[in-house]
Amino acid sequence: MSARKQLPVALTIAGSDSGGGAGIQADLKTFAALGVHGASAIACLTAQNPKRVLAIEPCSPKMLLQQIEAVFEELNPHAVKTGMFYSAENISVVANFYKNEKCPLIVDPIFVSTSGARLLEPKALKILKEKLLPLTTLVMPNLFEAEILAEQQISSIEEMREAARKIHSQFGCAVLIKGGHLESKAQSQKSKATDVFFDGKTELLLSAPFVKDVRTHGTGCVYSAAICAALALGNDLPRAVQIGKKFVTRAISDSYKIGNHFALKFF
């Protein structure tokens, strides 16, 4: 009998999306597509669809911690990503747990949904900045989130580069600013979606053709999950970021229709 293949484990700590397009559901699909075993710790439940978020209910801090402990006890994750926390208490749970962990941690600092719903309590931002980001390997803000973290306006790629350096200097982690929604004179035609990566030594400008006439849900979740999976497979951070960019670009390009909405394609 031949030996069975052993897969690396990636853990997502995030919210559950009842519509299946983002959050835990999207993360696990991404992990499977990239050949890693996906484990999960649900930080909150949402009642949502591609159009709107109807309700949010955070998991109790005790239960969130027990989920994380259960995974680490037997599965030994090779990389971890976080998504929607919603509550300050649950950010503190992860930060306190991670003080003693060494595996890579990817933070997708989800503040607001694509539909405009607030997905992070106002008081939680302070905890995220003070407790979690200093323990993080890579933080992946979109433009709105990067403006808050860097405390500056961003309207060009040069300002994205400046903001990435500010965030790295303040928190000590690598930064990937997602520029898909950048609206500037340089990108008035939106011919390319450009992201900026900076880890203190290496800077990457990651560009891909902008996919027109497709409005997708969950791209940030998929992007961060793909990077997490690439790290779990043994890639270094710059290479993992490039793999993530390629994966999410293809997922958008190959997206399909569900009802009146678009969904990302994972396989």
Give catalytic residue positions. 178, 216, 218-221
Asked if 127 contacts 91 with a C-beta cutoff of 8 angstroms, the reply is yes
Helix, strand, or coil (residue 65):
helix
CA 62, chain centre distance (Å): 23
Among residues 257, 261, 248, which one has the least CA distance to residue 30?
A: 248
Count the Cβ atoms, other than its own, within 10 Å of residue 38.
22
Number of H helices, E strands in the chain: 8, 11
Query: Which tokens belong to 28?
Result: 């696990």
Which positions ≥6 away from 259 have C-beta within 8 Å? 50
Query: How far apart are alpha carbons 63 and 83 in whole angstroms?
Result: 17
Query: How far apart are alpha carbons 145 and 262 in whole angstroms?
Result: 24
DSSP letters along 133-176, please? GGG-SEE--BHHHHHHHHTS---SHHHHHHHHHHHHHHH-SEEE
C-alpha dist (Å) from residue 115 to 54, 229, 253: 11, 27, 21
